[in-house]
Amino acid sequence: MLFEILTMMGIALYVASMVIAYLKGKVKSQFILVALVFFVWLLFNAIKALAHRAGVSSDVLGIVVATLIELFINYVYPFAVGPLIAIIYAALMKREISK
């Protein structure tokens, strides 16, 4: 479990550093997209590894992941992620316009 937590912390730091580097103009936007896809893939694998280590079967794991995705889309995304994406988008557009 500690390995999965450390992996997720490392990937979160990597994604954050890529976003900061993009905002400073040091990397291209394709790298951020790759970093975000990689982050989501590792997040799913960490959840799967933790569930298997706890003895959860694959069927139950599928139901849990589907429920987590539904909860995220219904409750977390509109109130937390939506404004965050709007702020990042505004910062990116400001950077593009200033060029």
Domain count, the chain: 1
In tens digits, the chain (99 residues) has pLDDT values of 566 666 667 767 777 777 777 777 776 666 666 667 777 777 777 777 777 777 777 677 777 777 777 776 677 666 666 666 777 777 777 766 665
pLDDT for res 27: 65
- How many Å apart are CA 36 and CA 69, to the nearest integer? 16
pLDDT for res 8: 66
Indicate the length of the chain as a whole number: 99
Residue 48 makes CB contacts below 8 A (sequence gap 6+) with 61, 65
pLDDT for res 29: 64
Report helix, strand or coil for 2: helix
Q: How far is CA 77 from the centre of its chain?
A: 12
Per the structure, the complete domain to which residue 42 belongs is given by 2-98
Q: Is 22 exposed, middle or buried (0-12, 13-18, 19+ CB in 10 A)?
A: buried
